[in-house]
Amino acid sequence: MSAKTLLLVYQSTTGATEQMIQAVARGAQAEPEVTVRLMRAVDAGPDELLAADGYLFACPENLGAIAGLMKDFFDRCYYAGLDRINARPYAVLICAGSDGSNAARQIARIATGWRLREIAPPLIICTHAQTPEAILAPKRIPPEELARGEELGLAFATGLAIGAF
């Protein structure tokens, strides 16, 4: 069996999503049969999308929607991936001040168009930031939430390695 590649694409503005995606990467890297590629959304493109066997998309929810730079990634990659990545597994990580579900739904709709397979419910991390000052401030994610990210990364990578996904 050849090594699999898990592509982690993310956008982070205040550090919350970056902390979580780093936790996901730590968990995934514990699986020696999987190569983990961690890329900012602005740096990832169609070549990386097509070369990967699975995906984790992570971003903040801004104004009730996926972050703009993450949307830009999807805009740049959508047609290149259409009918070329069908049935590949994916998961979603959203950091939000209160809800996060709309951003998760938006990514799920894009993944449906790509005909991807969701391997876990969206992992939504709520920072409870509600004032302009709190929303714009650097975030610190609690260890128990980081542990959830590591668990997701390990489970995803293990599933890829054994052919479950």
The pLDDT tens digits of the residues spanning 81-119 come to 999 999 999 999 999 998 999 999 999 999 999 999 999
Would you say the pTM of this structure is higher than 0.85?
yes
Task: Give the range of the structural domain holding residue 93, as residue numbers without chain letter.
Answer: 4-162
Count of structural domains, the chain: 1
The secondary structure of the chain, three-state, reads CCCEEEEEEECCCCCHHHHHHHHHHHHHHCCCCEEEEEEECCCCCHHHHHHCCEEEEEEEEECCEECHHHHHHHHHHHHHHCCCCCCCEEEEEEEECCCCHHHHHHHHHHHHHHCCEECCCCEEEECCCCCHHHHHCCCCCCHHHHHHHHHHHHHHHHHHHHCCC
| pLDDT in the model for residue 2 | 72
Residue 64's CATH number: 3.40.50.360
pLDDT digits (tens, 9 = 90+) for 8-57: 999 999 999 999 999 999 999 999 999 999 999 999 999 999 999 999 99
Percent of the chain at pLDDT exceeding 90: 95
User: Mean pLDDT across the chain, nearest whole number?
Assistant: 96
Task: Name the band, by pLDDT with cuts 50, 70 and 90, for residue 150.
Answer: very high
| pLDDT in the model for residue 1 | 54
| pLDDT in the model for residue 139 | 94
